[in-house]
A and B are shown apart, each in its own frame.
Chain A
């Protein structure tokens, strides 16, 4: 074991490219005011080839989330294309079922980790367009810890580890012997999706299996239909599998993925790790009263996980977004979200035509945003639209990834006593004055109260984990809201920053699940629908299957 220093030239080149992308798009000015354009038209183009053609011939100005290396090569030939690359929150990993022999042995998992040649995988399968990753949090998270134990590619080291642990080689079969039983190891499988479903994942399983066979471990890939694979994982009927997570900037997934309380059928703790020391650290993390405690606990958890290797993390897919630089400027590359993701409101505010302001930007939408209801919308494509209609109480700083004031000019995190002897969290928000909903109604603390209580009382599944601990919401005045939680946790800060709903529209909604606000006309303001937000853009038109048109919110509180 040694500190990780195995990022080879490809990785270095890609990391440089990521940095370069951030720098060259430096014409971007991350001003907290906008929008600088009059409208965004989002053509819905689902086929990858058609997307590429549409960009190359100038039908679209913003081409987010390029995924095929061949497309990147094509785009590079266009002198008007600028590519931005940023670390994302994607994490591809190999998971071990630690409930099963011999995978429960630390040394076994560490040996497997040593035979995985990430750089070769990335070069072979992705032509170099992935970032090697061995950490349990992505580098774009402010909780990412760099200096943790790692297991770089070193098959000789792997053999030595196994030899020393008693996994000697059976001369008859050439397979290593299980020191517990004295018998050759049983066949061990790696579940992968089929080649038809996800060719790179299937091939990856094969590469890892072959690498394991190279150190006399009887590992075989087992491609299968994705739903069957998910079922087997949920029922814990697997040895190893390869899959990906799309994480976020918070470290709380560590708790869900690796705390023993999550080790139940279909729970998140797929490897089944049950380590009392890790549990304690993860509890400190999950119930941290402040960011300092959270940071310290996240660091400790990452060190333990790196050593235990319940997953061997393999690589991360960076965000690769392409812009027509002859037509648009002002986009802001941002770690974690790329330059064109809806979470990056800096690009939304600052993007503008190459010359002057106003005008129209054509922004690709690669799938249908089927549901524009903020309570039920779940896909990224839906939030690509909705995310530009709403603002949050906080924003994320484009460089440091830290929380900064937005609709709330400040906040306090305190404690209270929900019942004798128990400590809860109370978040106090101080709102900016003068913010208006798009139909000119003032945005006040009463909207916060209504939304949190609506989500909690209706048990809206997408939000229930965030608001179920809310005991009450007080509004001492129009610009102060106090949200009381029954438990103590710094992360309640994010639970209290939901996507707010205008009370005068939503209070009469009988069934939030079948409510289609984007299809119903606003009762008072012509031209608006009941999909009313307070963000920089208004939904102007959604032609199903064709395009979405957003127009500038003329009363946006952050207009330049």
Chain B
């Protein structure tokens, strides 16, 4: 009962947050300096053509009417028509979302697994050469700009050792046959996903290492050692387990990237994704496109946070059972 009340409360919070984000999404683009209608209305157009275009995009109506219609449309997932292309925003996002998801999920899973593994390993080897080396490498890749590393990799594996494709998600033209097409996609994924892993693993490794080191100082670890448990078991079953909740928080916090994408990676590797779409839309003052992309991202953030709340309920008995101790 306590848990369902907790979930209901979190759901109401999530919906409120979503509503506030939708509202800000509407306001913020109208506060950006510059007249967005110039993106669609060329001064050489006749006054009739100008009026027609304004009517078509609903820009002729008062702001509050535009807002009410906008909220209604967002609820129906009608994201409108892009100013710059005249196409339905939802269709444009649908074209890009699978690419962003593939790149993000591949990079994310690899980054998290490699980063956490390295963090655990270096924590267990504190003060050794390998600890210093891995920590240094992690700090380096974390500190330098991502685009610099990605451009270096592009030059290295695209030009000097030209074994990897430098753009896109598939070859032009695409090979025939499903197996070859899958191989082709994987081939194109190596460089962008690999570079994301190199850029991203450091922060996960360092965070895990530091939290693990704190955990390894705790009394229960001393007890485990005194019981004669193997180091491997102490690390995985005792220390790592105790640091997992904050790591889960981080994982869920980063998950919305699955729809927002990685702008720099998408740009450098000509990856047709949502991140580049969003930045282009902002640069072009394309309200409907930017609002649509932000709405999608906001939705992902809210859903992920809600999912995290649900999982906390499982991992933290205080939430599931309540302070009174009754489930």
A: which residues have CB within 8 A of B?
A: 41-47, 49-50, 53-54, 56-57, 59, 225-228, 230-231, 234, 256, 266-268, 362, 368, 370-371, 373, 376, 459, 461, 464-465, 468, 513-514, 516, 541, 543-547, 549
Contact = CB atoms under 8 A, between A and B. Distances in A.
Nearest to B272: A545
Given A376-B86, A549-B173, 11 more contacts: A42-B172, A47-B268, A54-B167, A227-B35, A370-B84, A459-B46, A459-B52, A464-B46, A516-B87, A543-B174, A545-B99
Given A225-B34, A370-B87, A544 B268 contact: no
A547 B81 CA distance: 24
B48 interface: yes
A110 to B, nearest CB: 29
Given A57-B162, A370-B87, A516-B87, A545 B34 contact: no
B53 interface: yes
B172 A41 contact: yes
Contact of A267 (B43, B52, B87, B172): B43
A460 to B, nearest CB: 9
Contacts of A516: 87
B95 A545 contact: yes
A53 B81 CA distance: 36
Nearest to B84: A370
Contacts of A43: 167-168, 172
Interface of B: 32-35, 38, 42-46, 48-49, 52-53, 56, 81, 84-88, 92, 95-96, 99, 151, 154-155, 158-159, 162, 166-170, 172-174, 267-272, 276, 285
Contacts of A231: 33-35
Among A225, A231, A370, residue most surrounded by chain B Cβ atoms (within 10 Å): A370
Contact of B44 (A59, A268, A376): A268
A371 B88 CA distance: 11
Nearest to B46: A464
Given A46-B270, A50-B268, A54-B167, A546 B154 contact: no
Contact of B167 (A47, A56, A371, A459): A47
Contacts of B271: 545
Contacts of A544: 95, 272
A195 B272 CA distance: 27
A56 B53 CA distance: 44
A370 B277 CA distance: 11
Given A461-B49, A547-B172, A49 B81 contact: no
Contact of B46 (A256, A468, A541): A468
Nearest to A379: B84
A546 B166 contact: no
A50 B46 contact: no
A492 B46 CA distance: 17
24 contacts: A42-B172, A43-B167, A47-B268, A50-B270, A53-B155, A53-B166, A54-B158, A225-B34, A226-B34, A227-B34, A227-B35, A231-B33, A370-B92, A376-B86, A459-B49, A461-B42, A464-B45, A464-B46, A465-B44, A513-B56, A513-B81, A513-B86, A547-B172, A549-B173
A541 B88 CA distance: 21
B41 to A, nearest CB: 8
Nearest to A519: B91
A517 B276 CA distance: 25
Contacts of B155: 49, 53
Given A53-B158, A545-B272, A514 B45 contact: no
A45 B151 contact: no
A514 B87 contact: yes
A225 B154 contact: no
